[in-house]
Structures are given as structure tokens and as C-alpha cells.
Structure 1
Amino acid sequence: MTPKAKSDNITFSLDQHELSENEQFVLDVIQEYLDKNRYFNESKIKPIVLSRVSKSSININKEGIKLILKSLVEKNFIVNGSKLVKEDILKNSNRKKIYSYILEHPGTYFNKVVEKFNLSNSVVEWHISMLSKFGFIRREKINSHEVYFSKEISKAKGKIIHLILREKCDQILKYLERNNNGHTKTYLCKELKMHPKTIKKYLKRLIDHNVLYSNTQKNRTLYFLNYDYYQELKQA
């Protein structure tokens, strides 16, 4: 899968190297089947594929068909109970816009998507569900909040991105981005008007994830932004 996003204008193409010749043959049969049927049903499609194989030069037996169907499901090209196949998913304009928005705003959440596109909760849930089932995005719970990421962003990096987008962390990071010459905890409390316990909590988390680092000078602990890594996270 190779997604490319630029604002709401997003292109998507299936990587043909993901499928073998036999897998592509079976997928083509499934697409024809779905044109005439309401949803994908593995038990019903098997004899149809076997019949088509017998009339072609493709060499696949029953066990081979079973393994190919399993592979297509695992690769998210088809989903049991759905009428859609992977290449259909971004043909819906609203779903395509939501996908583009998630790519550009990793760690966004349900209410943000509803607000952004002025769609009903049920419609947004349907689009998010389709994007997730077909492997375009990952739904993840972090600190009891469900958030959305591109599949290309690892779970570990997703947690860090979610952290730096939190309001207090964002304030700390933006301040240090502008003034990255080393500041004490007390100084940051005063400048950002935050409670010492709040500053302490978020400084520790940011250091644990290597977004910040500290340096002791003349018995004072100074905090610095790991600038290059922070820029990398912002571009994720």
C-alpha cells in the first residue's frame, strides 16, 4: 500500500507486487461476484472460484483457493461480510477526505473528524470502520481515548505523537522550540504559568520518549528540546 496525501487531494494505488498471479486471479473473480451479490461470503465464493479455475490455465486446487482467500483477507484486500474490496474504499469522496485528514493529523480522534466534516456520528463511524477493516488506518486506544493513525506509523511512535499533541506538552515544546537555550523547571513554570507538578509530569514523559533531554550545569538542571527528533515527529 502506497498512500500519498496532499491536503484533500489524495491518490492511492494498490501495489501490484502485493499479489501473486493466482491471488490476482481469485480477487478478480471475487470482484465479479460482488457486482452481483450483497457481500463477500467465503463458503459461497469457493465453488465459483474453483469453477473459473477449471476453465482457465491457472493451476490452483481447493486447498490453494482456501489459502489464497485467507491471504487476501490478511492483506485487507477483502473483508468477510463486506460488499467492498480494497480498491473501492477511497472511491467514496467523504471517506477519501477523512483518510487524507488522518494522514495529515495523526492521533486525531472521532469528535474532531465529526466536527471537521460536519457529518453524523453514524456516518463517520462507518467510514472509520471501513478504513480500519481494509488496513488503511489503525484505531488505537491511548489513555482511554480512541485515536487514529496511518498504518505506516508504528504503535510506539503513535504514542509519542499523541503525547506531544496534548495541550500542556504542546505549550512546553513550542516554547522550547523558540527558546532552546536551556531552562530550569522553575523558569518554565513561571513562563508558561503551569503548576510545578504539571511541568514535572510532562517533562519526565517527554524525556522518557527522548523528545527532551536535560543537562546539569552549576547545580541546576536545564531542559532542552531534542530539536531534530521533534521536527521528525511533527512531519510524521
Structure 2
Amino acid sequence: MKKSKKIFIIFLIFVGILTSLISFLHNLQMDKLRFREEGISIEQVQSNNDLIIDSSYEIVFDNSIDIYDLLLNNYNPLFTTAFSIGTPLLFIIPTLFSNFSRSDKIKVGSCLEIEGVKINGEEINVFIFIQEFLNHNRVFSKEKAAQYIKSRYDKANGNLNHNGIKAVINSLMEKNIIVEGSKLTRNEILLNSNRKQIYDFIIENPGVHRNKLARKVDLSTYLIKWHVSMLIKFNLIREQKLSNFTAYFDSSLRQENDLLLHTISRDKCVRIINFLEINKEGSTKNQISKELNMHFNTISNYLKKMDKFSLLERKKVNNIEYISLNDLNFKLLKQKP
């Protein structure tokens, strides 16, 4: 809202209050003169006032007493004055407040992070108006949103033209803050409890395949597909076909590690890793096979894959090889770039 408009509205409020106050004082003076001429005592006036302010059950529900007539008669200029002041303020103040609020929102910070993605400057301003647009529309439409934002920018004294607004919208779409045809925005996508559960499990278990995900979160395959598709749209996760499985990853993790992450997310490999984490001093293949009741060749196969990415440490004692986890490399594997 422009500063000149704010000043003008404040001036109107001031004039309204001042005019009502003068009217009240004038009516009060006229009432005093009338009381003197008609011989009405102060006690009689007080009696009326007592009746008006009495909030007892009997008076409120007594149909024989017209409260509104009492309030609006000539002996109650204070109520008339308050009513005359309050009525315009009832319409003016909300309008003024909403415009101040909008102005405050536009100026919020220079940088905002939405689920790991930073937006700044005009992106924040446009995003606020997009959220406003979505409150009145079923889904996001780039063209319609641009027209709506242009009209709101004019009212908010913005400095972007139509092409500038569309450029900012394109930037927000490239950052997956908003998606064409969706009612949701990136900051709302994880408000759904099932979707949040799916997302959290994928983040904690990168490379997990769809069937295992469905088992662990106890949701139907249909729901899994729907929520996963929404997470992919907003680039919170990504999908990859590996070893005849559809696997899911945190979109911020390095793609070159996808195959390994998928491998170590498999149930048998998870059991081997958990065993090695407990036995930090190292164990032989035979010990691992016996303790986990898992075939020796299966153990060797998974350990070989982990060796390719330097996730294991091997040492020999009396010609016996002991295997342990390389904790540092294991942590780096799941580290975001």
C-alpha cells in the first residue's frame, strides 16, 4: 500500500473521530440546557442510565422494555457517538490492517529456505502472492498466476512488470517450489502424515525399493505410488531402476552412489552391516555366516560389493582375516554434497 494512501486513510479516521467528538460535546451541552428548561433532575437521568447498564436476566429478556429505544433516545448521546465512530472504523481498520500485513509480508527477510531450497528477493514476494492465488484457485496455473500477481503488485507498489513476474515464476518452478497443475507448494508437501512417513523412511534408507517401502510404512501400493509421485514432482526424492527394482533416493545425494546405496539397503546386507557395527574389532566371514545364519557365498557377495567403495577394513592376525566397517567412508556415503 502506498504511503500517501495510508496517510489519507489515517486522516479520514482522525476527521471522523474529531467530528463525532464535537457532535457529542454539542449534544451534551444541548441536553444540559433542555434538562434545565424541563426541570429534569440529575437523579432521573441517573435512573435511566442505571436501567440501560443493568445486565440482569429479567431486563435483558423482558419484552416490555425496548432496549434499543433506550440506547438510541436523546438522553444517550454517548452511545450515538460511539456508534458513529465505530461503524466507519469497522470497515476502515481491517482494510488498513490487511494492507499493512501484506506490506510486512513482502519485506520478510532477504532469504527464505523451503525444504532445503533457498529463495530470495523478488522470489519471496512472488511466492507470497502465489500462495494467496492458490487460496482462491484449485491448482497452480502459470499464466493465471502471473496475471493475478501483476494486479496485486500494482496495488502493493511493486516494481515488476508482467514479463518480470513470469521470469520469477519460472525460477520458482525450476527450484521445484511450485509445480504446474498442483494445489500444493513445496512448503506444504510434507504436511500430509503418510507422505512425511514415506519421505522420512527414504531419507533414512536411501536406495530402498518400492516393495520394502510398502512393507515398512504399512501402506498400500496405490498410496505409495501417489505420495512418491508427489515427492518426485517437487524434487524431494528421485526414482531409479536398479537390478529389476524401483529404488528411491534423497534427490540431493550423489547419483554415482545409487547402486551401492541400493545394495546396502537390502535386508541381508543391512543385517551384515548391523553385525559389523556391533563387532567393531572385526569378524571372519565364517563368524558372520554362523551368527547371522546366512550362506557363506551370500556373505562374500555382499562384502565384495562393499569393498568396491572402500566401506570395509581388513586385517590379518595369524593368517586369519578379520573384517570391520570403515566408519568414516560409511558416513561419507550418505553425506550430501
1:189/1:199 contact within 8 Å kept: yes
What is the one-letter code of the residue matched to 1:133? K
2:115/2:187 contact within 8 Å kept: no
Q: Structure 2: give runs of 5+ residues left out of the alignment.
A: 1-112
Larger Rg belongs to? 2
Matches of 2:203 and 2:117, distance apart in 1: 23
1:174 and 1:57, CA in 2 relative to 1: closer, same or farther beyond 3 A?
same
Q: How many residues align?
A: 223
Find out whether 1:163 has 2:289 as its counterpart: no
Matches of 2:288 and 2:217, distance apart in 1: 37
Q: CA deviation at 1:134?
A: 1.5
Matches of 2:292 and 2:201, distance apart in 1: 30
1:189/1:195 contact within 8 Å kept: yes
TM superposition score normalised by structure 1:
0.74
Q: CA deviation at 1:152?
A: 4.0
Q: CA deviation at 1:15?
A: 6.8
Structure 1 equivalent of residue 177 of structure 2: 77
Q: Which moved more, 1:200-209 or 1:149-158?
A: 149-158
Q: CA deviation at 1:230?
A: 6.4
Q: CA deviation at 1:68?
A: 0.8
Matches of 1:207 and 1:105, distance apart in 2: 20
Matches of 2:223 and 2:294, distance apart in 1: 39
1:153-183: CA deviations, max 9, x gaps?
A: 3334444332223344334434444555566
Matches of 1:112 and 1:186, distance apart in 2: 28
Q: Structure 1: give runs of 5+ residues left out of the alignment.
A: 1-12
2:237/2:251 contact within 8 Å kept: yes
Structure 1 equivalent of residue 145 of structure 2: 45
1:71 and 1:223, CA in 2 relative to 1: closer, same or farther beyond 3 A?
farther
Q: CA deviation at 1:146?
A: 1.9
RMSD of the TM alignment (CA)?
3.4
SS at match of 2:159: coil
SS at match of 1:86: coil
Q: Percent identity?
A: 38
TM superposition score normalised by structure 2:
0.55
| 1:121-132 matches, cutoff 5 A | 121-132=221-232
| 1:69-148 matches, cutoff 5 A | 69-148=169-248
Find out whether 1:202 has 2:311 as its counterpart: no
SS at match of 1:90: coil
In structure 1, which of residues 140, 149, 155 is the aligned counterpart of residue 249 of structure 2?
Answer: 149
Q: Which moved more, 1:41-50 or 1:156-165?
A: 156-165
SS at match of 2:145: helix
1:212/1:223 contact within 8 Å kept: no
Matches of 2:296 and 2:215, distance apart in 1: 34
1:68-100: CA deviations, max 9, x gaps?
A: 111101111100111111122122222222223
1:10-54: CA deviations, max 9, x gaps?
A: xxx737982223112221222222222221111222222222223
Structure with greater helix share of residues: 2
Matches of 1:172 and 1:145, distance apart in 2: 21
Matches of 1:201 and 1:111, distance apart in 2: 22
SS at match of 2:260: helix
Structure with greater strand share of residues: 1
Q: CA deviation at 1:210?
A: 0.7
